[in-house]
Amino acid sequence: MTTKDKIYYREGLPVPETPDPENSPEFWRQTDVVGKPLPRVDAYERVSGTAVYPSDILLPNMIYGAMLRSPHPNAKVKGIDTSAAEKMDGVRAIITGQSAEAKNVKWKYRDQQVPLFASHCRFEGEAVAAVAADTRYQAADAARAIKVDYEILDFAVDYEHALDASAAKVGGKGNLLNEERYGRGDLDKGFAEADVVLEETYRTPCELHTPMEPHGCVANWERDRLTVWESSQGVYAVQSRIAEALDLPLSKVRAVGHYMGGGFGSKLWPGKYTVLCCLLAKKTARPVKMMLSREETYLCVGNRPASTMRIKAGVKKDGTLTALEFDCSGPSGAYPAGGVQLVDWLVRDLYRCANVRTSSKDILINAGPARPFRAPGHPQGAWALEQMVDALAEKIDMDPVALRLKNIPLESQAREGAPPYTTTGLRQCLERGAEQFDWRESIKRINGHNGRDNHLKRGIGVGACLWIAGDGGPPSTVIIKLYKDGSVNLNMGASDIGTGTKTVMAQVAAEELGVHPSVIQIEHADTATTQFATPSGGSKTVPTEAPTVRNAAISLKQALITMAAEDLKVDRDELNYIGDEIVWSGDDSKKIRITELSTLQKRGEVIGVGYRGPNPEDKVVNPFAAQFCELEVNTLSGEIRILRFLGAHDSGRVLNRLTFDNQVYGGIVMGVGLGLTENRQLDENQTGKLCNRNWHDYKLPTALDVPLVMSSLPIELDDPESNNTGAKGLGEPVTIPTAAAIANALYMATGVRFTRAPVTPMAVIRELSKKEKG
């Protein structure tokens, strides 16, 4: 082997059997590259500032767009005067609802089609007009100079009272969008069998995504062909939505998304700003950049809806759950957006219980529509369910971990036919997590600490979860190209949203092909140059794309084996692919190096195409998790200090330990925000407007708020039925039980059950005062 070839191929690989393309490939039992904590393949670009994000795009003759938005939560537009704005320096174009460009353009909120500019603005921040000018400041000034005659209407921004008869009607009709019900078993019988029945109401706040890079895009037309650089989680979703809105063939719309600075679900699809940017570029015949301000993103690009949840639960003295009753309500915003979607799923499916009933009310209010937010619905449901499980454990004098272990299901009870899980790692998450966290000894230590006369009280808590998805699935296409020198190109359209997708996929390709990961060049997401992929979100990227990459690598290997059979003049079924050589099984000395294949040298390259196969029939692929928290409460100031956090996660095979751990830590930090700091605050009485629309007033967790020590404990269970890599989703479950674990730790520290999030220092002092007064 030459020095040059040593760069490309790994040595000492086990001899694999040649995979049969008609059947699923052999499950990896041992791996050489997959699972290792390799640094990101684009780490240098990201840290050096050479990575080009949509907000970095600069094109010749580019101008800038800005939008005028309704300052009222509920108002009708009676008239618009753009004359003053049209005369301002640098202004190139203005579009309103009366402009010809906008009249035939439609936009959808779920299944509800709405005009691009609505004459009835249902929320603060709804689009009224758009401007293009030579500079971003000229565009913003011109937008502010547009005069609008509004008929200001009564508003409804408090979803808990939006169904009152006296409440303002958001869409002109009732504010109840829909009510979903679910049930199994006999609820009355379940409660009758219980030794203890508890009932409580829990509330979670509305959270805002606030990604580091604001939403926005650059649009440029070349004759009838449109190119859009969008900060997006999926370029093909951008392409399809824009093509639909502008009535263009997909072939005429190119969406590019090489890098993006965070999305958390809010960038799964484009926004009205994208369409308007395209229209302004068309009207001016110039490239247009429109990046939203931080304040705009707080108003109009989604949120995690608030939830009010009543839960009633019954348990036997031995810890068997006998009945769960759950009612929740929450707002979609001003348009349908799935406000309470999946909030009840953990109640339905996390613990074994024969008798369950849930109902969910989705409510309209005069506020920005929701969008998916990392594990939609699940963190809210966990806040209620996991606190109730702890309360039940206390009543029957049972350890909270033991109660959870008593009720672990092996099948998905909420799905029709109760299909089994391919693997259920919840038990291992709880048992091994508690062991590594030193759960039992920590209880003794903390009880001794809290027994002393000290204003600093400590507590530990646990929370568990599953994520309804995390299984991935078709469609997905990947092409892998091998050049004649042995280097590799990986072509896929999946967006790397900061989770290390490109790195993980390079490792999967390297594992299967036997090459060194450093020689794999990866194409960035671009509908013109990369293959179809659904948006990266919902913990589906790894379990969707990784098996597809492996299938593409196997397809490539099969092509190479066919070439080798021609050169060696043997049957292809008698050849094995080993490292940088293809070897005849009848005689180890009869072999050929891949870079010497005559057909490869003639062609210059060979490709393998992979497609994502179907998920297993009649079985469910879900990730599971348990998290453990220790914190300290200053009972004089109300300050909460998180001392340590451990996340035990069953997400199947770990493809990269470094990116895996980073996901766990990031999810925990996001969960801290839900539990302790974040809350969209609307003025419910006077104006209906958003009060905290910047990073100063909207309290994201900072370095001072995160746990002092965070630990990640992967629970790797072989799961060959899930997909050919055995990997399940991770991005969602890492944040689902966090806030609930914090709440349970707070109860141990203070003796107060905090049912409303976020738990601020003022809330701690208030509740401790109530406790002292009896």
CA 433 to each of CA 308, 446, 458, 470, 665: distance values in angstroms, whole numbers, following the listed order: 30, 18, 19, 21, 15
From CA 550, how far away is CA 531, in angstroms rounded? 15
In terms of domains, do 444 and 576 share one? Answer: no
Owner of token pair 């997401």: 525
pLDDT in tens, 725-737: 999 999 999 999 9
Q: What is the 3-state secondary structure (H, E, C) of 114-128?
A: EECCCCEECCCCCEE
Q: Taking 80 as the threshold, does the pLDDT of residue 14 lie above it?
A: no
pLDDT in tens, 124-166: 999 999 999 999 999 999 999 999 999 999 999 999 999 999 9
3-state secondary structure at position 389: helix
Give the mean model confidence (pLDDT) for residues 3-25.
41
The residue length of the chain stands at 774
Inter-residue contact 366 to 123 (CB < 8 Å): yes
Structure tokens at 300: 């109009």
Secondary structure element (H or E) that encloses residue 172, with its range: none
User: In the prediction, which pLDDT does 111 show?
Assistant: 83
Inter-residue contact 108 to 245 (CB < 8 Å): no
Pick the closest to residue 471 from 597, 325, 651 (CA basis): 651
In terms of domains, do 661 and 592 share one? Answer: no
In terms of domains, do 258 and 141 share one? Answer: yes
In a domain, 762, yes or no: yes
Q: How many CB atoms lie within 10 A of CB 187?
A: 19
In terms of domains, do 220 and 79 share one? Answer: yes
3-state secondary structure at position 380: helix
Secondary structure element (H or E) that encloses residue 545, with its range: helix 541-568
In a domain, 182, yes or no: no
Pick the closest to residue 222 from 528, 480, 4, 510 (CA basis): 528
Strands 640-650 and 709-714: parallel
Phi and psi, residue 213, nearest 5°: -95, 120
Strands 321-333 and 356-364: parallel
Phi and psi, residue 617, nearest 5°: -80, 140
Inter-residue contact 262 to 213 (CB < 8 Å): yes
Pick the closest to residue 428 from 732, 667, 719 (CA basis): 719
Give the DSSP per-residue string, 474-492.
S-BEEEEEEETTS-EEEEE
In terms of domains, do 240 and 121 share one? Answer: yes
Inter-residue contact 265 to 370 (CB < 8 Å): no
With a CB cutoff of 8 Å and minimum separation 6, the contacts of 175 are: 156, 162, 163, 167, 169, 363, 364, 365
Q: Taking 90 as the threshold, does the pLDDT of residue 563 lie above it?
A: yes
User: In the prediction, which pLDDT does 16 show?
Assistant: 35
**Beta-bridge mates of residue 487:** none
From CA 484, how far away is CA 486, in angstroms rounded? 5
**What's the N-to-C CA distance of the chain in angstroms?**
80
In terms of domains, do 691 and 741 share one? Answer: yes
In a domain, 180, yes or no: no
In a domain, 518, yes or no: yes
Indicate the number of domains in the chain: 3
Q: Taking 90 as the threshold, does the pLDDT of residue 249 lie above it?
A: yes
Pick the closest to residue 69 from 296, 378, 332 (CA basis): 296
In terms of domains, do 337 and 280 share one? Answer: no
3-state secondary structure at position 263: coil
The pLDDT confidence band at residue 23, using thresholds 50, 70 and 90, is low
Q: Taking 50 as the threshold, does the pLDDT of residue 227 lie above it?
A: yes
User: In the prediction, which pLDDT does 20 show?
Assistant: 43
Structure tokens at 189: 């019988």
3-state secondary structure at position 191: helix
CA 612 to each of CA 179, 260, 479, 533, 615: distance values in angstroms, whole numbers, following the listed order: 35, 25, 12, 10, 9
pLDDT in tens, 705-717: 999 999 999 999 9
Pick the closest to residue 536 from 469, 595, 591, 599 (CA basis): 469
Inter-residue contact 471 to 543 (CB < 8 Å): yes
From CA 229, how far away is CA 225, in angstroms rounded? 14
- Provide the angle, in degrees to the nearest 10, between the axes of the packed helices 541-568 and 501-513: 30
In terms of domains, do 671 and 723 share one? Answer: yes
From CA 73, how far away is CA 124, in angstroms rounded? 4
Pick the closest to residue 527 from 278, 257, 127, 337 (CA basis): 257
Q: What is the pTM of this model?
A: 0.95
Q: Taking 60 as the threshold, does the pLDDT of residue 4 lie above it?
A: no
pLDDT in tens, 746-763: 999 999 999 999 999 999
Give the mean model confidence (pLDDT) for residues 553-563.
97
User: In the prediction, which pLDDT does 25 show?
Assistant: 86
In terms of domains, do 348 and 252 share one? Answer: no
3-state secondary structure at position 737: coil
Inter-residue contact 309 to 382 (CB < 8 Å): no
In terms of domains, do 691 and 637 share one? Answer: yes
In terms of domains, do 542 and 596 share one? Answer: yes
CATH of the domain at 23: 3.30.365.10
User: In the prediction, which pLDDT does 110 show?
Assistant: 86
In a domain, 628, yes or no: yes
From CA 560, how far away is CA 480, in angstroms rounded? 12
Structure tokens at 541: 């990227």
In a domain, 195, yes or no: no
Give the mean model confidence (pLDDT) for residues 388-411.
98
pLDDT in tens, 299-313: 999 999 999 999 999
Q: What strand order describes the sheet that includes 605-611?
A: 520-522, 488-492, 477-483, 605-611
User: In the prediction, which pLDDT does 22 show?
Assistant: 40
User: In the prediction, which pLDDT does 5 show?
Assistant: 34
3-state secondary structure at position 731: coil
In terms of domains, do 558 and 645 share one? Answer: no
In a domain, 181, yes or no: no
From CA 57, how far away is CA 21, in angstroms rounded? 42
From CA 718, how far away is CA 708, in angstroms rounded? 32
The mean predicted confidence, pLDDT, of the chain is 95
From CA 770, how far away is CA 484, in angstroms rounded? 75
From CA 319, how far away is CA 407, in angstroms rounded? 8
Last residue of a domain, one of 611, 633, 648: 611
Domain that residue 498 falls in: 8-30+472-611
3-state secondary structure at position 690: strand
Structure tokens at 128: 């009224």
Q: Taking 90 as the threshold, does the pLDDT of residue 24 lie above it?
A: no
Give the DSSP per-residue string, 649-681.
EE-BS-SBHHHHHHHHHHHHHHHHIIIII----
**Beta-bridge mates of residue 605:** 483
In a domain, 563, yes or no: yes
From CA 747, how far away is CA 450, in angstroms rounded? 12
**Beta-bridge mates of residue 690:** 682
Q: Taking 90 as the threshold, does the pLDDT of residue 15 lie above it?
A: no
Written as one letter, the residue type at 274 is: T
The pLDDT confidence band at residue 774, using thresholds 50, 70 and 90, is confident
Last residue of a domain, one of 561, 577, 611: 611
Q: How many CB atoms lie within 10 A of CB 629?
A: 32
pLDDT in tens, 438-493: 999 999 999 999 988 899 999 999 999 999 998 999 999 999 999 999 999 999 99
pLDDT in tens, 589-614: 999 999 999 999 999 999 999 999 99
Give the E-state strand segments of 334-473 in sequence order.
356-364, 456-466
Q: Taking 50 as the threshold, does the pLDDT of residue 109 lie above it?
A: yes
Last residue of a domain, one of 246, 268, 299: 299
